[in-house]
Amino acid sequence: MDHLPFTPFFFVLAYITSNLLALLSIFASIRFPKFARVFFIMLFGWACWINSSMALDTPWVYQDYADTAVPLYKQFILGTFEAIVTPMVLVIAICQAFIAIAMLLKGKLFRIGCWGGIVFGLAVAPLGTYAAFPATVFMAIALYLLQKKNDNLFLWERKHDQHKKAYMEHASH
């Protein structure tokens, strides 16, 4: 990444850390779903902030992703994408914000956020090592697992709260 102030050591450390966290997110989605949801709030919130800042301040840095991308993505990045980088990355950042917010929610909105994260993770995987591949695939797996069984509570609710609410509604009849 020629345009970013990353040393090779920093890049390797960030790459390893990203992949370890992504693997842990799979485990957390199964055993500690609330922790996984908080992780994805922070991840997608941070990604939204970084991408929107870079899209507005230094949009040319996205050309560096062509260095490790698969040929089709490389062709797009160095071609069409160059002319639309700022608006396209801002749309991506808005979607990342929606994904982060969806991790707070429940039901259909939560599942839509998970599927948005899954699509995002799989869509950026062909960018290769600059997108920390295979970390984004691991995160897509974690989001898939998370949405399968953890959509009936808001992030701040506990199962006890849900049972208590159902009991109170039943008792009032």
Residue 49 one-letter amino acid: W
pLDDT at residue 107, rounded to an integer: 93
Model-level pTM? 0.87
pLDDT tops 70 at residue 2: no
Question: Which tens digits make up the pLDDT trace of 133-146?
Answer: 999 999 999 999 99
Residue-by-residue DSSP string for 84-152: HHHHHHHHHHHHHHHHHHHTT--HHHHHHHHHHHHHHHHHHGGGGGGGTTTHHHHHHHHHHHHHHH--S
Q: Which of 125, 119, 126, 122 is nearest to 74 (CA)?
A: 126
Which residues, other chains included, contact 79 with Cβ-Cβ below 8 Å and sequence gap of 6+? none
Q: Residue 150 — very low, low, confident or very high, per pLDDT cuts 50/70/90?
A: confident
